[in-house]
């Protein structure tokens, strides 16, 4: 059922809830998405942020997105990265290439490998156990933040394993946590349009729930600005908040707008920076059970990223020594840790390096 805005809702009634430490409703969130005054949204979001995290600190991580394969049969319309099986541009990294990338990450001060690719029919559980085991053995200090729910569900399927058994084996091999990729919009009507062969909303949530039960934490995400409505965004956020209430699987939330370049998902116009800032702010206000909201410098660039720190975000994300998926659609704002720290300081905060678990690191 669609969420509607009640005439009894106003920015003042919502502000009373926020300053009173109360939870806002889905109808409140929809009102905020329509509210024209961005400064008022920023004020409320920043208040929530200061209650949930250190007001003076902005964190970031040094890591690499290691795209081990671009072979994928799912054909998501929003993706410019994948190549179908048999395509001459398809690749799968061999062991030596993968380990060399991990070594390069460590040499550059990285502590996280975000290991993601596609749904490659040739790669079953033994491939991941082998490569994760080697990374764990050779680089015990590296945190493997690896595999989207879609990848895990598919690995379990083609390996003839239950989801729980698949996750247990991946964890034993070296998997530490799961990125929130593949969430897109957790509304099946939307998912059937943009990725008709991908996992359903319930399957995505079930993977995160099962992983949490095994002690594997994750992040949550939202990709907006394509075919979804504002009501769909609110429903997505509601599903994320409900699961966080249930089993606390998520360490952080991150949102970014759809990058249409080179994809098969035509849209009339790309989401603006104002839409991005509004979405970050509403997410922070609504997701009262999240300590961390991460911004997307990769898609927004440094100037908007700095502004987003006043709209509820407290984390600058990853320096991303390497990234190929979003960059395949033409966007590539990849900066050094020194540049991250300069941008954070210039915005009036103290930069602190962290790991995947949001533990602060001494550099």
What percentage of the chain has pLDDT greater than the value 90?
Answer: 77
* Chain segment 214-260, per-residue pLDDT in tens: 999 999 999 999 999 999 999 999 999 999 999 999 999 999 998 87
At residue 334 the predicted structure's pLDDT band, cuts being 50, 70 and 90, is low
C-alpha 181, offset from chain centre: 5
Strands (E), the chain: 57-61, 63-67, 112-116, 143-146, 177-178, 217-224, 250-257, 292-294, 315-318, 350-353
Q: Is the domain 51-353 a CATH 3.40.1390.40 member?
A: no
Q: Running DSSP on this structure, what letter comes out for residue 200?
A: P
Residue 335 has pLDDT above 90, yes or no: no
Q: Radius of gyration over alpha carbons of the chain, in Å?
A: 20
Higher-pLDDT residue of 92, 349:
349
Q: What distance in Å separates the CA atoms of residue 212 and residue 192, rounded to the nearest whole number?
A: 26
pLDDT of residue 75: 64
Q: Taking residues 171-177, what's their average pLDDT?
A: 98
Q: List the beta bridge partners of residue 213.
A: none
Contact 314, 59 (CB under 8 A): yes
Residue 82 has pLDDT above 70, yes or no: no
Residue 250 tokens, joined:
């998520």
Residue 156 has pLDDT above 60, yes or no: yes
pLDDT of residue 327: 44
Coil vs helix vs strand at 58: strand
Contact 163, 152 (CB under 8 A): yes
pLDDT of residue 261: 77
* Chain segment 250-307, per-residue pLDDT in tens: 999 999 998 877 777 778 788 999 999 999 999 999 999 999 999 999 889 999 999 9
Rounded to whole angstroms, what are the CA distances from 252 to 242, 249, 294?
Answer: 14, 9, 7
Angle between helices 201-213 and 149-158 (to 10 degrees): 90
pLDDT of residue 89: 77
Q: Taking residues 128-139, what's their average pLDDT?
A: 97
Contact 135, 142 (CB under 8 A): yes
Q: Degrees (nearest 5) of the Cα angle 25, 28, 33?
A: 130
Residue at token pair 């939202």:
222
Q: Running DSSP on this structure, what letter comes out for residue 344?
A: H
pLDDT of residue 80: 64
Residues 6+ apart with CB under 8 A from 338: none
Residue 3 tokens, joined:
């969420």
pTM metric for this prediction: 0.91
Coil vs helix vs strand at 302: helix
């Amino acid at each position: 059922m669609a969420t509607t805005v009640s005439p009894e809702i106003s920015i003042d009634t919502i502000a009373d809830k926020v300053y009173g430490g109360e939870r806002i409703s889905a109808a409140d969130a929809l009102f905020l998405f329509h509210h024209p005054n961005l400064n008022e949204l920023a004020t409320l979001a920043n208040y929530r942020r200061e209650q949930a995290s250190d007001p003076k600190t902005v964190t970031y991580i040094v890591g690499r997105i290691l795209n081990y394969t671009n072979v994928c049969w799912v054909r998501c319309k929003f993706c410019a990265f994948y190549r179908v099986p048999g395509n001459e541009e398809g690749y799968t990294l061999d062991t030596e290439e993968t380990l060399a990338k991990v070594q390069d990450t460590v040499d550059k001060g990285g502590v996280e490998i975000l290991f993601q690719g596609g749904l490659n029919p040739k790669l079953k559980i033994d491939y991941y156990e082998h490569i994760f085991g080697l990374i764990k053995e050779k680089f015990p200090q590296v945190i493997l933040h690896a595999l989207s729910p879609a990848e895990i569900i598919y690995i379990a399927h083609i390996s003839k394993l239950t989801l729980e058994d698949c996750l247990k084996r991946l964890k034993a091999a070296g998997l530490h946590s799961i990125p929130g990729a593949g969430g897109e919009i957790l509304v099946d009507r939307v998912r059937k349009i943009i990725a008709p062969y991908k996992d359903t909303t319930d399957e995505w949530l079930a993977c995160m729930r099962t992983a949490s039960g095994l002690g594997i934490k994750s992040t949550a995400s939202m990709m907006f600005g394509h075919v979804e409505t504002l009501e769909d965004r609110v429903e997505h956020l509601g599903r994320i908040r409900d699961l966080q209430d249930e089993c606390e699987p998520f360490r952080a939330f991150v949102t970014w707008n759809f990058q249409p370049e080179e994809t098969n998902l035509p849209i009339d116009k790309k989401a603006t920076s104002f839409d991005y800032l509004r979405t970050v702010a509403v997410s922070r206000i609504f997701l009262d059970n999240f300590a961390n909201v991460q911004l997307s410098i990769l898609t927004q660039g440094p100037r908007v990223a700095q502004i987003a720190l006043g709209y509820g975000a407290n984390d600058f994300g990853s320096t991303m020594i390497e990234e190929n998926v979003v960059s395949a659609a033409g966007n590539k704002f990849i900066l050094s840790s020194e540049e991250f720290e300069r941008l954070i300081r210039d915005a009036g905060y103290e930069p602190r390096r962290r790991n995947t678990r949001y533990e602060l690191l001494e550099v």
